[in-house]
Structure 1
Amino acid sequence: MTMTTTAARAPIVAGSPLLGSMSDLLNDPLAAYLRARRDHGDVVRFRAGPPGLRSDIYVVFSAEGAQQVLATQAANFRKDNVFYEELRQSVGNGLLTSQDDTYLRQRRLVQPLFTRRRVNGYAQQVAEEAVALAAEWRAVPGGTVELVGEMHRFALHVVGRILFGTDVKKAFEVIERTLPPLQEYSLKRGFSPLKAPRTWPTPANRRAARLQSELRALCDGIIDSRRDRDDRDDLVTLLVHAENAEDGSLDADELREQVLIFLLAGHETTATALAFALHLLARHPEEQRRVRDEVDGVLGGPGGRAPTAEDMEELPYLTMVLKEAMRLYPSAPVIGRRSVADAEVDGVLIPAGADLLVSPWVTQRHPAYWPDPDRFDPTRFTPEAEAGRPRYAWFPFGGGPRACIGQHLSMLESVLGLAVLLREFEVEDAEVGEVPVGAGITLMAKGPARARVAPRG
């Protein structure tokens, strides 16, 4: 929708005379966004930087506004901002970062690999990794684990098996050593108003280039090993042989870039959901008991059978718990875009060329849609409750034509993984208070989420 003469101007969030809102956005952006919605409304403008060099960032907090940006006006809001450009240069132009015809071609080629039937076929790998993790937890001295790190390791093992099949050991070693520092490097460059070109031989640039080269070499080696065989069902093999009459097939660079994007997006988001679901259940033992009763009824209690994809429909309360955890701790707390032309979002003018964010972190705490929004309450996700809310009051997987292609895989991995762990363990909170979090490329825990895991039976 183009601008109308009745469009309002977004209120400016006041900051310091010297730097505007830059300090707030660098130090604690999630708190800054919550305050801005409370004090100024559903579409605001942050002005950041020193006088003469300030830039505006528009942030949209309403469900209606998020739907306009991501869905109904999606063509006007593109992935052209600086953070996506840094990600493109670090991990390539895959589905997360590509645009226009490139994105559409990639999506058509990759979509058949993420059908519900295909994804359900990975349930066995998920269950096996969860059982292996449970065995490790039983041997932990004192029974105390750090949930964020453990769930990142679990999710990386799962996505590694699904992507790489049997080539997991070498892949894990390289990924764990290279991917986190590359993400941190990209994020720092995104926030920096002055940064050296990547071609300059600074220590940071040289280290990033080495890590990037190592990660690319890993992917290229695995891709090459799949070119002459099609008898495996890991995603790399399927990607190598993906083609259709309209789009052809993926070339060597495209294959590598898709694999790197799947590694980045495929484990971080699921790990966050799993870690905070367990953290919340540890702090709410009555909810944990309700989930465990449901899981025991389906899987048979400690040492019972492995879960399957068909069991997901038999675990509705566990699924509600997971959705509520994703409401409170969305893996992507903000989603960035840049406007092409003047537009109106939720009655407010967004000028052409403006950097804009929508924020699941804030919208999923908006009191207009979520009474007592900070309270953990899985019953918010009964079918009746979900039907009574706007579509974009909850959007942890994004939305519109750029919605996450792997959301069913993430839900499968999360539900089945939680089912195994909660069947085998009582999870007790070992911390006082909430786990502090911050906003990077994904939601980041800024402190440990320790829990005691006591084996059942």
Structure 2
Amino acid sequence: MADGVRVPGLEGVPLVGSLFDLKADSLGTYERARERHGDLVRISAGPPGLRAELYCVFSAEGAQRVLASEAANFRKDNAFYQEVRDSFGNGLLTSQDADYMRQRRLVQPLFTRKRVDGYAGAVAAETEGTLAAWAEARDGIVDVSTEMMHLALRAVTRILFGADVDATVDVVDRCFPVITEYVLRRGYSPANLPRTWPTPGNRRAAAALDELYAVCDKIVAQRLGAPTERAEDDDLLTLLAGARDEDDAAFGPAELRDQVLVFLLAGHETTATSLAFALHLLGRHPEEQARAREEVRSVLGGRLPEAGDLERLPYLTQVLKEAMRLYPAAPVIGRKAVAATEIEGHTVPAGADVIVSPWVTHRHPRYWNDPERFDPDRFSPEAEAGRHRYAWFPFGGGPRACIGQHFSMLESVIALAMLLRAYEFEAVDREVPVSAGITLRAEGPARCRIRRVGVRGQR
């Protein structure tokens, strides 16, 4: 039973608590909280009357309780998820209860391993486009953060929309940053003006949302107006439009748009983060890079990778998993406690805002020896078998685990294999500052010098 002792709290400053620390460096603040006070820490932030208390859970055991074994007690009811919902719709990422269960039933058949494996060709085609563009890279230097964001966006857009890639990529690329900044600012603010007030920030966000919604609605209307007899050959949006549950219910136009927006959001920023930091880390560790490249060469030769190659590229997969350990695309996962729950020997009260943090747990010395060191062998089958299931959870866990995790791994392995076979990478920026947005964000460039494999010294 819980001991009744108040959860340890992080020291803050008078009046605003840890507000400024969280705004300046939330991930560093969470790390310090664990180091000083343990695996359940209460952080207060905000002025009196608007102060929020955040219960931070850092152990693998605690993460498992929040996300899995006690998941019913922790809902997506906090202010941040509401802002995401208000901008990106009530899709699979943000919906709850009956809405979520219905959406999951409709979407699940489209994310089976067999179905997802069929997207390998689209990923390979977009990666070939990136390689062609890199042939013109000035001075042989590319910012892998920017480049992987572009590659992942084109890949997920091709899979979602098929031939309509170019019609949507530019709009998404232009509008998403405006909307995500708006969501972040409002989601972490102790008080907000109504969205309907004509402030400059509200007007910019509304214009970006209108443009994004318009392009999605246009393509959704086209799919609904032209059903296909061969859905297995079509893009994901066509499959979504044709999905039916056991009661023959389908997504309506607005629901389809909501699913599309969520897939665009979750399907490109997360994979882009994993790929960018895998390349950055390999650019700092030439021995590991050479080992991964040799595996790719021995398995693929000169052919394009296929879905079945994932099992034949175990070390490359370990590289990606280690990159996702050090740089998890979802560094913080928030919930709202709806019932008092015992965690780490204390009671988290009903109504509390709760976070689990892959960023912190992935660096926890209880589960990881020398946690800041890049070591893909941490993910050998033997090493993984001896570790707590929630010591590594970049895709979340429990009933709300990411439905697209196999797609993310498929895309990442295929793209990374093709990039490593073609180029050597040397990190120019040794350190890349990051922050917690909707996903993990690089706050500076992640530049690498690239050289065609086998053509040393040639730019």
1:84 paired residue number:
81
Measured in 2, the distance between the counterparts of 1:235 and 1:112 equals 11
Match of 1:408 among 406, 409, 425: 406
* Distance of 2:333 and 2:49 partners within structure 1: 27
Deviations 1:308-355 (A, max 9, x none): 001111100000000000000000100000000111112221000000
Contact 1:58–1:355 (8 Å) recurs in 2: yes
The question of whether the paired residues in 1 share the 8 Å contact of 2:2 and 2:342 is answered with: no
Distance (whole Å) between structure 1 residues aligned to residue 92 and residue 128 of structure 2: 31
CA distance in 2 between partners of 1:247 and 1:5 (Å)? 47
Could you tell me how far apart the structure 1 residues matched to 2:432 and 2:203 are?
A: 34
Q: Tell me the residue number matched to 2:457.
A: none
Contact 2:223 2:241 in 1 (8 A): yes
Query: 2: distance between equivalents of 1:455 and 1:381?
Result: 29
CA deviation profile, 1:72-112 (whole Å, cap 9, x unmatched): 00000000000100000001000000000100000000000
Secondary structure at the counterpart of residue 290 of structure 1 = helix
Residue 367 of structure 2 is aligned to residue 363 of structure 1: no
Q: Work out whether residues 323 and 378 of structure 1, in 8 Å CA contact, stay in contact via their aligned partners in 2.
A: yes
Matched, 1:342 2:332: no
SS at match of 2:334: strand
* Superposition deviation, residue 5 in structure 1: 5.0
The 5 A counterparts of 1:106-117 are 106-117=103-114
1:249-260 alignment, distance < 5 Å: 249-260=250-261
Moved more, 104-113 or 223-232: 223-232
1:229 positional shift: 2.4
- What runs of 5+ residues in structure 1 fail to find an aligned partner? none
Aligned length: 450
Matches within 5 A, 1:62-81: 62-81=59-78
CA contact (8 A) 2:2 2:347 kept: no
Q: State the AA in 2 paired with 1:376.
A: F
Tell which deviates more after alignment, 129-138 or 49-58: 49-58
Match of residue 218 from structure 2: 221
Q: Larger deviation: 18-27 or 222-231?
A: 222-231
Q: Which deviates further from its counterpart, 211-220 or 357-366?
A: 211-220
| Residues 275-314 of structure 1 mapped to structure 2, 5 A cutoff | 275-300=276-301, 304-314=302-312
Question: Shift in Å at residue 53 of structure 1?
Answer: 3.3
Shift of 1:50: 2.1
Letter in 1 for 2:139: G
**Separation of aligned partners in 1, 2:194 and 2:269:** 28
2:416 aligned partner: 418
In structure 2, how many angstroms separate the alpha carbons of the residues matched to 1:166 and 1:348? 54
Q: How big is the shift at 1:124?
A: 0.6
The match for 1:177 among 174, 177, 183 is 174
Displacement of 1:207 in angstroms is 1.6
Secondary structure of 2:12's counterpart equals coil
Matched residues, percent identical? Answer: 63
**Partner of residue 146 from structure 1, selected from 143, 146, 156:** 143
Amino acid of the structure 1 residue aligned with 2:422: E
Find the aligned partners of 2:417 and 2:2 in 1 and give their Cα distance. Answer: 54
SS in 2 for 1:165: helix
CA distance in 2, matches of 1:93, 1:449: 33
Task: Label 1:285 to 1:197 Cα distance change in 2 as closer, same or farther (>3 A).
Answer: same
Counterparts of 1:115 and 1:247, CA distance in 2: 20
TM-score, scaled relative to structure 1 = 0.97
Q: Secondary structure at the match of 2:163?
A: coil
Amino acid at match of 1:360: P
Q: Quick check: 404-413 or 128-137, which moved more?
A: 128-137
Structure 2: which 5+ runs fail to align? Answer: 455-459
> Secondary structure, in 3 states, of the residue corresponding to 2:234?
coil
Tell me the residue number matched to 1:195.
Answer: 192
Q: Which amino acid aligns with 1:295?
A: V
Task: Using the TM superposition, name which of 49-58 and 24-33 deviates more.
Answer: 49-58
Three-state SS of the structure 1 residue aligned to 2:192 is: coil
Residues 394-405 of structure 1 mapped to structure 2, 5 A cutoff: 394-405=392-403
Residue 389 (structure 1) aligns with: 387
TM-score normalised by the chain length of structure 2: 0.97
Verify the 8 A CA contact 1:360 1:394 in the aligned structure 2.
Answer: yes
Which of 306, 327, 333 aligns to 2:331? It is 333
